[in-house]
Amino acid sequence: MTPDEIRAIILGLTREQARGPQAHEEAELLAERAEGDYEAAYDQAFLNAEGNIEERKAQARLVTQELRDAAAIARAAHGRVKLKVKQLDSSLMAHMAVLKSVMAEGA
C-alpha cells in the first residue's frame, strides 16, 4: 500500500467514525423507547389480566411478547453500534501505525 492509499482509508474511517456519536444516540433512544413501550404494555396487560399473580404475569407476557422481542432487537442494535464505533477506533489506530511505518521506510 502506498501512503496515499493509506491516507484515503484513514480519511474514510474518520468520516465514518464522525457519524458514530449520532448513530449511538439514535440507537440508544430507540432501545429506550422500545423498552418503555414493552414495560407500559406489560403493566397494562398485567392489570387487565385475571387470576392469581403468576397467571396474570403469564397472560401479560403472552400479550406483550412482540414488544418484548422488539425491545431485545433494539438493545442488540444499540450494542452493534457501540461495537462498530470501537472497531472503527481500532482500525483507525492500526492504519495510522501502518502509515507511520510506511513513511519511516521511505515509501
Quote the pLDDT of residue 107.
55
Percent of the chain beyond pLDDT 90?
Answer: 90
Q: Any idea of the CA torsion for 85, 91, 93, 98, to the nearest 10 degrees?
A: -170
The pLDDT of residue 1 is 83
Instruction: Name the residue ranges covered by the structural domains of the chain.
Output: 3-105
Q: Which residues of the chain have pLDDT under 70?
A: 107
pLDDT tens digits, 76-100: 999 999 999 999 999 999 999 999 9
pTM for the model: 0.80
Phi then psi for residue 102, to 5 deg, are -65, -40
pLDDT value of residue 105 = 86
Extract the C-alpha cell encoding 105.
521506510
